[in-house]
Amino acid sequence: MDDGIYMDYSAGKPLEARCLEAMRPYFLKHFGNPSSLHLFGGEPRQALQRAREQVAQLIGARLPEEILFTSGATESSNLAIKGVALRARGKNHVITSEIEHVSVLNICKFLENQGFKITHLPVDRFGMVDLERLTAEVRDETILITLQYANNEIGTLQPIAEVGELARSRGIYFHVDAVAAVGQVPIDVEREKIDLLSFSANDLYGPKGVGALYVRKGTRVIPVMQGGGQEFGLRSGTEDIPGIVGLGVAAEMAREELEGEAQRLSRLRDKLIEGVTGRIRNSYLNGHPTRRLSNNAHFRFDYIEGESLILSLSMLGVAAATGSACTSKTLEPSRTLLRIGLTEEQAHGSLLFALGKSSTEAEVDYILDHLPKVVDRLRAMSPFTPKEYFSGR
């Protein structure tokens, strides 16, 4: 707590020391190219295989060869979505949701410009897609459904296994953006009938700039980058062995720690949610009350702006977020919050606490002690606060 309270774990996570230690020899000693046939290619090649096994185990993949390494979720989703769509002959329809991460939405926009038809499923006030609506949108031309496992802003978990069942029964590929969920929720690509799954190593406290794509054996994908044919011909370019080693160890640690950490964090999350909504009038939880990530507490407060809350909290040593770090440079209100039915004012008055490994009960208590005073002070200064608010105290 001396270094401040970090509650922005959805924007970035520190690297686990165990990952760093495992990576170190692959920068200095085992620097060879895994494609080399001589001695120096051997250890990097083995490390690559080990990391595939570690990642496959985390997500329940049957074969290590179903794991490809990339530079992160953005690249994985490009390969998955474009790779499937551009390979499909005669089928030109893709289904996604209205609250996907901008990376997936922009890939879909690219495909739309290439002549594909894209259906954006609406979500309810909790951020969930409707299975009946999804079923109704499926056509003979549908090649792919791409859906996030969990929303990175409001934390809502989608009905992944049910969508997987539907996709499989209709012969449609199913891609999942698992960035927000991996390491937080037990993912099982077999049970959930997922064909392609994207995430980044940093989501698991691994290094930044490396990620993975799960591709079920037999899935028809074409590469989107041409080159030397590494990663089973699907992702050319010399492999980032240290990064991949770090991802493998991070996946192994996540598998060991997932259950205990999810329980610990959901208890802290619930304390924060009950404390904030109980102590601060006109404050509300955004997202689903129960089907949500164990580390996500997303609120909105009437009459004030999230940005001023962030700055006031920052002065008290607390780092929280207003929404997605990837779109924070725009002053636009969050699309996700508008799509779940919030007004622009409500969207601007929202705040996310994303908990993680360093989060403690003492930190939650500190926030619960200080946030009500901060909110009161900002409301007292805000021209939007009605007079009755103060007389009602």
Beta-strand pair 296-301/350-354:
antiparallel
Ramachandran region of residue 54, left (φ > 0), alpha (ψ -120 to 50) or beta? alpha
Per-residue burial over 156-192, b if 16 or more Cβ lie within 10 Å, else e, is: bbbbbeebbebbeeeebbbbbbbbbbbbbbebebeeb
Instruction: Give the residue with the Cβ less far from ligand PMP, 72 or 333.
Output: 72
Q: Contact with ligand PMP (CB under 6 A): which of 146, 152, 294, 334?
A: 152
| Contact range with ligand PMP by CB under 6 A, out of 68-76, 116-124, 227-235, 267-275 | 68-76
Instruction: Give the residue with the Cβ less far from ligand PMP, 275 or 333.
Output: 333
Q: Contact with ligand PMP (CB under 6 A): which of 96, 146, 148, 296?
A: 148
**Rule CB under 6 A: which of 165-194 touch ligand PMP?**
177, 179-180
Catalytic, out of 63, 326, 380, 381: 326
CB of 74 to ligand PMP, least distance (A): 3
Centroid of chain to Cα 109: 20
Tell me, by CB under 6 A, how many residues bind ligand PMP: 12
Q: Does 73 bind ligand PMP (CB under 6 A)?
A: yes
Q: What whole-number distance in Å separates Cα of residue 200 and Cα of residue 72?
A: 5
Could you tell me which of 64, 26, 20, 24 has the C-alpha nearest to residue 42?
26
Instruction: Give the residue with the Cβ less far from ligand PMP, 301 or 353.
Output: 353
Count of positions (residues) in the chain:
393
Q: What whole-number distance in Å separates Cα of residue 375 and Cα of residue 248?
A: 43
CB of 17 to ligand PMP, least distance (A): 21
Residues 281-320 as x/- pattern, contact with ligand PMP by CB under 6 A: ----------------------------------------
Q: What whole-number distance in Å separates Cα of residue 311 and Cα of residue 307?
A: 6
State yes or no: is 326 an active-site residue.
yes
Q: Does 230 bind ligand PMP (CB under 6 A)?
A: no
Cα dihedral sign for 306, 312, 316, 319?
Answer: positive
| Contact range with ligand PMP by CB under 6 A, out of 67-75, 107-115, 237-245, 363-371 | 67-75
Q: What whole-number distance in Å separates Cα of residue 239 and Cα of residue 229?
A: 11
Q: What whole-number distance in Å separates Cα of residue 393 and Cα of residue 388?
A: 9
Q: Does 326 bind ligand PMP (CB under 6 A)?
A: yes
Tokens of 89: 């002959």
Q: Does 103 bind ligand PMP (CB under 6 A)?
A: yes
CB of 181 to ligand PMP, least distance (A): 9
Q: Does 158 bind ligand PMP (CB under 6 A)?
A: no
Are 205 and 15 a contacting pair, CB within 8 Å? yes
Tokens of 179: 């960035």
Instruction: Give the residue with the Cβ less far from ligand PMP, 312 or 334.
Output: 334
Instruction: Give the residue with the Cβ less far from ligand PMP, 107 or 371.
Output: 107
**Rule CB under 6 A: which of 193-212 touch ligand PMP?**
200
**Rule CB under 6 A: which of 17-46 touch ligand PMP?**
none
Instruction: Give the residue with the Cβ less far from ligand PMP, 73 or 375.
Output: 73
Alpha carbon of 142 to those of 77, 84, 130: distances in Å? 18, 11, 18
Residue type, 261: E
DSSP 130: P
Q: Contact with ligand PMP (CB under 6 A): which of 7, 45, 59, 72?
A: 72
Instruction: Give the residue with the Cβ less far from ligand PMP, 148 or 283.
Output: 148
Instruction: Give the residue with the Cβ less far from ligand PMP, 210 or 318.
Output: 210
Question: Which residues have a Cβ under 8 Å from the Cβ of 86 and sit 6 or more positions away?
Answer: 114, 222, 224
Q: Contact with ligand PMP (CB under 6 A): which of 45, 52, 101, 288?
A: 101
Residue ranges of alpha helices (H) inside the chain are 17-28, 39-59, 73-87, 102-113, 131-137, 160-169, 241-279, 306-315, 335-339, 344-348, 361-381, 387-391
What is residue 214's three-state secondary structure?
strand
* Residues near ligand PMP, by CB under 6 A: 72-74, 101, 103, 148, 152, 177, 179-180, 200, 326
Catalytic residue positions, numbered? 326
